[in-house]
Chains A and B, each alone.
Chain A
Amino acid sequence: MESNEASAALDEAEASRAALAGRIATPPWFFTSMGAAIAVQIGTTAAGASDVTVWLLVAGVTVLAAVAGIQLARFRRLNGVWLGGFASRVVFGTGTVASVSYAAALGGAIWAAYGSRWWLVGLFSLAGGGAYALSGRRWLRTYRSEPADHARGESVAWLAALGVMAAAGLALLLINS
């Protein structure tokens, strides 16, 4: 194979990959619904934790799980692909910005709820949901510029371990309530 043939083959292959990555889109209202679900989950967790109302905690987690599941199914249906990086970074929030902003917003909302500052709980919840959605948009831009580096997310085993830990935390809350 000649150098120019190799170069042409590589360019064509990379262009095809870039074209596929460029065509990947989110379903309508994707980021709005994910941001809203996160905001609801933060708000209900803060309210539920402050007066130990378990049904509020469970309701928030259920809403988030339902929205995440539906949106992932819509994404797969729309694009005809499964993108592990998208599922873990954008939907499950394992990216640095999403996880740090979520933790900060949740901490702030719980603190505000213990002081019965409900307007502040709402503010932290909205800020958390907004930051989550924005970090997802940012990830998508990064993915489109370097698809091969960002296509894969955390392993299924790692996500399963996170799910088990979350379920265990919820079970502990239920037992202690």
Chain B
Amino acid sequence: MAELDEHVVAPARLKLMTTLTAVSEAEFATVRDALEVSDSVLSKHLSALEEVDYVKRRKGLHRGRRTTWISLTPHGRKALSAHVGALRELINGID
């Protein structure tokens, strides 16, 4: 059976990474509103996922204001895919 990824196992991180698969890049406030979390909670999860190279952040502009743009890395995309595969095995009861 495939193993769950310890960096993505928290439901909030799974939700964050899955949501990011819908876009190439998203602005910080857009992601925060989509996940319905506070700035600090989102920042905490982003820092943890950035440390293992699952997401990347870059400074940019949105509506004329400086903000952060967030995207999944190719490594993060692979890790998410493997984690979701492991979750599906667990759900289907595959040993």
Binding site for B on A (CB under 8 A): 1, 3, 6-10, 12-14, 16-21, 23, 76-77, 79-85, 147-148, 151-153
Would you give the shortest CB distance from A21 to chain B, in whole angstroms? Answer: 5
B23-A13 in contact (CB<8A): no
Would you give the shortest CB distance from A89 to chain B, in whole angstroms? Answer: 12
Residues of chain B lying within 8 A (CB to CB) of residue A77? 62-63
Residues of chain A lying within 8 A (CB to CB) of residue B62? 76-77, 80
* Complex interface: stretch among B14-22, B39-47, B49-57: B14-22
Q: Give CA–CA (A85, B25) in the complex, Å.
A: 11
> Which 5 A-B pairs have CB atoms at the shortest separation, nearest pair first?
A80-B30, A13-B18, A147-B22, A80-B27, A84-B24
Would you give the shortest CB distance from B7 to chain A, in whole angstroms? Answer: 14
Q: Give CA–CA (A153, B91) in the complex, Å.
A: 32
Per-residue CB proximity of B65-95 to A under 8 Å, as 1/0?
Answer: 0000100000000000000100110110100
- Nearest chain B residue, comparing its CB with the CB of A22: B22
- Contact of A151 with B34 at beta-carbon distance under 8 Å, contacts A6-B90, A13-B11 already known: no
Residues of chain A lying within 8 A (CB to CB) of residue B24? 81-85, 151-153
Binding site for A on B (CB under 8 A): 4, 9, 11, 14-15, 17-19, 21-27, 29-30, 34-35, 62-63, 69, 84, 87-88, 90-91, 93
User: How many pairs of A and B residues are in contact by the CB < 8 Å rule?
Assistant: 84
B26-A81 in contact (CB<8A): yes
Residues of chain A lying within 8 A (CB to CB) of residue B26? 20, 80-82
* Chain A binding surface SS class: helix
Residues of chain B lying within 8 A (CB to CB) of residue A20? 19, 22-23, 26, 30, 34
A1-B9 in contact (CB<8A): yes
- Contact of A148 with B22 at beta-carbon distance under 8 Å, contacts A80-B27, A80-B29, A81-B30 already known: yes
Q: Give CA–CA (A77, B61) in the complex, Å.
A: 10
B87-A10 in contact (CB<8A): yes
Would you give the shortest CB distance from A4 to chain B, in whole angstroms? Answer: 8
Residues of chain B lying within 8 A (CB to CB) of residue A83? 23-24
- Contact of A7 with B25 at beta-carbon distance under 8 Å, contacts A16-B18, A16-B19, A77-B62 already known: no
B14-A9 in contact (CB<8A): yes
Q: Give CA–CA (A82, B25) in the complex, Å.
A: 5
Would you give the shortest CB distance from B15 to chain A, in whole angstroms? Answer: 4
Q: Give CA–CA (A23, B34) in the complex, Å.
A: 10
- Contact of A21 with B22 at beta-carbon distance under 8 Å, contacts A3-B90, A77-B63, A80-B30 already known: yes
- Contact of A16 with B15 at beta-carbon distance under 8 Å, contacts A3-B91, A6-B91, A79-B30 already known: yes
